[in-house]
Structure 1
Amino acid sequence: MRILITNDDGPLNDDCSPYIRPFIQHIRRAHPHWKITVCVPHVQRSWNGKAHLAGKDLTATFIYSDIEKDDNSFWGPFNKPQLLQSKDSKLPYIINPEIPSDSIEWILVNGTPASCANIALHLLKDTKFDLVISGPNVGRNSSAAYITSSATVGAAMESVITGDTKAIAVSWAYYDNRKIVPSKLMKMASIRTTQIISHLWENWDPQTDIYSINVPLVDELSGSTKIFYAPIWENRWTAIFNGPHVREPIKGNLIEDGNDTDQISFNWCPDFKNHKNSSHYDGLVDSDQIAPGTDMDIIERRNISVTPLRATFRSMEHLNGELITKSNNTIVDEETVAIDNSTNDFVAALTISRDEYIYEPIKNAFKKYLPLYTIQSRLPDNFSSMKKLIQYGDYEQLDVDKLMLENSKYFANSYIYRKALIRKHYLAHTIHSYTVKHPESILNKAVLESHTLDLDYAEFLDDSLDENWELRQELENEKKWWIVKPSMSDKGQGIRVFKTIDDLQKIFDSFDDEANDDSAEFMDDNKIIISQLRHFIVQEYLTTPLLLPSMDNKKFHIRCYITCKGDLEVFVYNRMLALFAPTKYNDVTKETEFDPTDLKKLQSHLTNTCLQSKNETKELSVMEFDNLNDISNDNKRKIIKQIHEISHDVFLAAVTVNRMNFQPLPNAFETYGVDFLVDSNYEVKLLEINAYPDFKQTGDELKSLIDELFLNITKSVIRPLLDSDQTEDCDAEIFTKVLEHKSNEWN
């Protein structure tokens, strides 16, 4: 999601703008997939509404702050950007080596917040922004007296009117003149704010243009602070100036307008406590009271208010009552309602769809090994009063903030950062970094030669190869066969086999062409758009795979399920799958006329069953590895032993040499689908590691394998994770621990 952040309090400043830095830092850490641009006024511009400085030309300067620092220091200001911009940017690009590449860039415009939004939406980026976040404002923006003057809300209004872009105005209300609050409180305000933003974005009301959020900066702010939809309190107030005052000219000097005569002035002096109800609320409450249920009433009661608006300051009255954020917004059934009404301190929330292949195996395992836990299909409302909550859900359903902050209370089935393993180019870098330091590692022979390749369009292949001269040399030698894979795709998408640079060019050219009718039976979704992926892995192709006569000499790979627990233990599930290609293997080294874009010929080289949905032989494409009669028991043991060693080293590599991109958490676990190839000498090669593997590839015939997997995971991983007094009780023959590592130990 592409987000523009602006505000009316200006850039980093301890007095005027203390909230925006911790808010942006939280988003960058907790939501790395949100792409953020920051464009704010160069000084505080409060009380400007949706104003522009008519007739004034505006300029921009740039400052940069450290993502890790907890102060408002920065580099700059500079007249031009100091970090490398994308090639299609309209701004000049300059590299300043003194500024870290992951620092936060602040674009400062000497105009109003509305002007910042207008410039950023139309001139700074070619890519359309999905959402504008204006704030967090220092102080509340509730009631008609404030919200109609608010430049924070005004920038959000401008975003809708000028760019037809959804917008959310954020205000953090302070109390008793305590603007500067502890960093812990600002962190909690950041967490709750981003939770609400995520929920509103994913559940955007079609009649609403803007949401105005007010979050109370009070010590009791927590994950259980209630959120309410609230209309604007239509209050009234009197003069916000006092006077008149007669200004005496200073002898010998001219006063502001150049006149030397006495001047009448009015001093800024709003009475922030003198409010009255409008006639709209007459008869509901006394005239000196806040109308109940309005935004001002909600924030005065130290709750969070969310006001849905049109870009006309008209609130949307069809939204009312308590708002439940995404973590509480899953499907509710009769069983769940009954459970939520209970007072159980231990809950297991199974939030994946009931139609999922793994729903029943997980539910049955929870019932067997977590008898104290009430199983329900949504997150409970009373988290703050609970003792422990275990959630098994899709990555997007997990509460990342709770996972980071509530590590003794909230447990979940995924780590947050693990791209060191699950993205192919990161995995290649992880393994290379480890094997350089550990030449004795099995990874040196278990991973085929790999190179990374980055390009935006097919015509840039030659430039990309110039930047990777080692790969260019290998391809120019034309001695090996290669396989190219998009780094961030799955289910076999975009994989091709080739030998020469011309072959590779032909492959990339074909990705942008329309699929042939002849290829429709085999992979409707196999082609890709290069500019959407950009990162590719080019890996040596194994031309001597192990072939089994009883399976018509089809190529196969092994799918192994590996579960990580906490920080960090690794378990290998020894009931593995063998996934076969749909057709007999064709030796590419004997091909006289090989076409790298012929998808029919590619079938014999790809073993991903996702690509065989229309193939009549799919029921024969998955078998349990232990049932392959062509492989002797000795060779099976040899293969499994290598898989254990490879698994040990690759997870150890991720946690030791690429800790930035693999961060195991003490209150999380995760099961990966790891793919291996076996060559004709029974030597094992690691292919890739997949998060959230497609368990349904196992098929109905082997469902018992998945049932047993989740029984082992729950018994040996989840139960000890939830209760340290529970010892691990795993059958080493079935569920083997291959790594036990503590991240605080020296390696």
Structure 2
Amino acid sequence: MRVLITNDDGPPNDEFSPYVGPFVRYLRQNYPEWQLTVCVPHVQRSWIGKAHFAGKSLSAQFLYSKIDAEDNLCLGPFVQPQVPLEGSKLPRNRQNPEVSGDDIEWILVDGTPASCANIGLYHLCEKPFDLVISGPNVGRNTSSAYISSSGTVGAAMEAVITGRTKAIALSWAYFNGLKHFDSKTMDLAAQKSMQVVTYLYHNWNDATDLYSVNVPLSNSLCSDTPAVFAPIWENRWDAIFEGPKVAREQSGGEIEDGVEGQMITFKWAPFKKSHTNSQYSAATATDRDVIEAKKTSVTPLRATFKEVEGLVGQLSLSPTKGTNYFVITVDNGDYLYGPLSRAVSKHLPQFRIVSELPCTPVTSIFHYGEYEHLNVDKLATDANDYFANSYIYRKALIRKHYLAHTIHAYIVKYPDSILSQAALETFPLELDYAEFLDDALDENWELRQELKKQDKWWIVKPGMSDKGQGIRVFKTINDLQAIFDSFDEDSTDDEGEFFDDNKVIISQLRHFIVQEYLADPLLLPSMGNKKFHIRCYISCRGALEVYVYDRMLALFAPSAFKPLDGEKFSPTELKDLECHLTNTCLQSKKHERRELSVAEFDALLDISPENKLKIKEQIHSIAREIFLAALKVNAVNFQPLPNAFETYGVDFLVDSHFNVKLLEINAYPDFKQTGEELKGLIEELFQHTVSQLIVPFFNNTTPQSSENFVKVLEYAPHNW
């Protein structure tokens, strides 16, 4: 599809034309199948209608900007094109090394918007265009007074009058004089604009020459903002100039009215007087009313400045039938967005990447996002058309107290399982308030007896928290009571920022686990003898295959490990806990060079290749057994689906004898813990995720292992 972009505000400029740059970048990033040509006036040409400079020959200049730029800076201007371009009518004999073929080319013409449209349609490309988009205009184009003066609408009219193509005049209406917004809001405006544009293009009304579209640019803009057909508000101008003023010809300074012999001037002031006359009753929502309600107005027009009658009501922005959509409801600034979108573009080129769920069913949808963003009803009932990156029921694994129950039940049934050695002794504990601890231990008699022995150290964790919140180390019942009492206290840690967010409210969590503490962790001299845990990404697909990603992370505590000493260690002194917790999310700005807290496991110097292999083989076996356990003994709370996959961040400890212990399983893991230096690890993870776990959903191929991805389980429950 060939599309010509023009406007009346000129090239990207922070003050006069702040919207066209983000809009064109959005098109290039999200509609790669579109062939764009951008031809705009070299300066702002607003309020000029469908005018041409009669008798004037026009010249072109060229600017270039990056597709991933975050500002309006451009390279140029140049008097000739700087890169070859297939299908261009312009002479292109020069290639500038500073300009990439992927850059956005801005063709600047020293004429009017209508002239840019005419030149673009007839002289810039060998093949005809399918659509002209004029805009986005800075501000609204509603009412007959504005539309008849608009250079944005004028350029669209020029495209229609030439008889060459369909045209849409697009405006982004700001409110209360606030026209500058962050990139997220402008991306949302671009997304909403393209919903309307694609709908109109595929559902064009034969009586319509062009459409005037106004998108409300405000902080209230969202994916659910409706688009509504609306007639023009038939208003009329009052005075749009102030005056007269008598000014000195030379200095231009104002003097008293009526001084003979001096120049008389009228000051441009179009917004100071109200507009008059409207032929519609209060019950009719005109384009002005729709945009004031912060909805998108869509006005079908003839080239006679009269709207087409008969189109009323809200638009149903249905996607084009037959389109495959990859919906990513993750902020495009998120750490994982880049690796994921690049993998989708490479391995699923037939899928259009969008940021919201289409309104009606299409051929196929894969939805990647946080659990709360997924349509769990469709996931459960629409296994042929809707696919997602999460199962619905997986509490058996991701809730700590459920995981403890899953492991315990499985070991009882299968005592020879590796989980009997890999799982630290764990007891669930339910508690509403600190003063009820004694009652809770009465109900958990086995735990009370273990704590009375005082020959082990224990760690207490909230069953449903994350990021290390509420974790404490203790030895006795009195220690545990002191810990819960400290949670109920309204105090803060004055020692520093390390545990700023580490406190919890007992009554809001209730479920805790008490787990045997690994007192002899593997320590590495080259890493400062700091305690560490292994973060391994384990992916499940369908119902059920399990893959282990062998490029694992080692996450280190911020300070050197100190053996627990009952005489010196205080369970409520947070500084004493610092060397025992390896959650990087707890490590604040005061711990400089935080990247040293994360390393790739294979790069660790103090572990021999043989022992690294031993550790990985244990992880493979544990991964196989823990998912089998969830299926066999807690199937109510783990129900894998044939149209879903899920990647978990699974944490392991290693003791001084290279024995691996399972810590916890995290859904929707925080990939940014990897850091920038190891981002290639996540890049490879998502390349494999898309190519081997997602693509087979749509082409009936069999997922494959690869060098760093090992299939550890293929479960066939009815294979008898």
* TM-score interval (norm. to shorter): 0.5 to 0.7
CA distance in 2, matches of 1:723, 1:515: 57
Give the partner amino acid of 1:548: L
Q: What's the counterpart of residue 616 of structure 1? A: 592
1:658 paired with 2:652, answer no
Q: What's the counterpart of residue 558 of structure 2? A: 582
Q: What's the counterpart of residue 501 of structure 1? A: 477
Q: What's the counterpart of residue 113 of structure 2? A: none
CA distance in 1, matches of 2:526, 2:633: 42
TM-score (norm. length: structure 1)? 0.54
Is residue 532–residue 554 contact of structure 2 (8 Å, CA) maintained in 1?
A: yes
CA distance in 2, matches of 1:744, 1:533: 38
Q: What's the counterpart of residue 164 of structure 1? A: none
Residue 729 of structure 1: how far off its partner (Å): 3.4
Write the deviation string for residues 204-244 of structure 1: whole angstroms up to 9, x where unpaired. x9xxxxxxxxxxxxxxxxxxxx9999xxxxxxxxxxxxxxx
Is residue 545–residue 679 contact of structure 1 (8 Å, CA) maintained in 2?
A: yes
Is residue 546–residue 678 contact of structure 1 (8 Å, CA) maintained in 2?
A: yes
Q: Secondary structure at the match of 1:582?
A: coil
Alignment of 1:57-456 (within 5 A): 343-381=321-359, 383-384=360-361, 386-456=362-432
Is residue 349–residue 391 contact of structure 1 (8 Å, CA) maintained in 2?
A: yes
Cα pair distance change 1:622/1:321, threshold 3 Å: closer
CA distance in 2, matches of 1:584, 1:537: 26
Residue 469 of structure 1: how far off its partner (Å): 0.4
Q: What's the counterpart of residue 443 of structure 2? A: 467
Give the partner amino acid of 1:609: T
Q: What's the counterpart of residue 740 of structure 1? A: 714
Q: What's the counterpart of residue 490 of structure 2? A: 514
Residue 730 of structure 1: how far off its partner (Å): 3.1
Residue 522 of structure 1: how far off its partner (Å): 1.1
Cα pair distance change 1:713/1:471, threshold 3 Å: same
Write the deviation string for residues 323-361 of structure 1: whole angstroms up to 9, x where unpaired. xxxxxxxxxxxxxx9x98655521111121001100000
CA distance in 2, matches of 1:517, 1:417: 37
The equivalent position to 1:595 in structure 2, one of 564, 570, 577, is 570
CA-based RMSD: 3.1
Is residue 569–residue 739 contact of structure 1 (8 Å, CA) maintained in 2?
A: yes
Write the deviation string for residues 524-559 of structure 1: whole angstroms up to 9, x where unpaired. 010111000000000000000000011111000000
> After TM superposition, which residue ranges in structure 1, 4 or more long, deviate above 3 angstroms?
226-229, 317-322, 339-344, 514-517, 743-746
The equivalent position to 1:482 in structure 2, one of 450, 458, 464, is 458
Is residue 408–residue 667 contact of structure 1 (8 Å, CA) maintained in 2?
A: yes
CA distance in 2, matches of 1:401, 1:520: 45
Q: What's the counterpart of residue 330 of structure 1? A: none
Q: What's the counterpart of residue 132 of structure 1? A: none
CA distance in 1, matches of 2:296, 2:347: 39
Question: Please, which runs of 5 or more residues in structure 1 have no aligned partner?
Answer: 1-204, 206-225, 230-282, 285-290, 294-316, 323-336
Is residue 319–residue 358 contact of structure 2 (8 Å, CA) maintained in 1?
A: no
CA distance in 1, matches of 2:375, 2:538: 23
Q: What's the counterpart of residue 606 of structure 1? A: 581
Give the partner amino acid of 1:606: L
TM-score (norm. length: structure 2)? 0.56
Residue 320 of structure 1: how far off its partner (Å): 8.4
Identity of aligned residues (%): 61
Alignment of 1:516-595 (within 5 A): 516-588=492-564, 590-595=565-570
Cα pair distance change 1:343/1:529, threshold 3 Å: same
Residue 591 of structure 1: how far off its partner (Å): 4.3
Residue 374 of structure 1: how far off its partner (Å): 1.4
CA distance in 2, matches of 1:466, 1:432: 21
Q: What's the counterpart of residue 638 of structure 1? A: 614
Residue 397 of structure 1: how far off its partner (Å): 1.0
Q: What's the counterpart of residue 170 of structure 1? A: none
Write the deviation string for residues 547-581 of structure 1: whole angstroms up to 9, x where unpaired. 00111110000000001101111100000000000
CA distance in 2, matches of 1:527, 1:320: 43
Give the partner amino acid of 2:521: P
1:718 paired with 2:667, answer no
Give the partner amino acid of 2:625: D
Is residue 561–residue 672 contact of structure 1 (8 Å, CA) maintained in 2?
A: yes
Write the deviation string for residues 102-151 of structure 1: whole angstroms up to 9, x where unpaired. xxxxxxxxxxxxxxxxxxxxxxxxxxxxxxxxxxxxxxxxxxxxxxxxxx
CA distance in 1, matches of 2:558, 2:466: 18
Residue 744 of structure 1: how far off its partner (Å): 3.9
Question: Please, which runs of 5 or more residues in structure 2 have no aligned partner?
Answer: 1-219, 229-279, 286-291, 298-314
Give the partner amino acid of 1:361: P
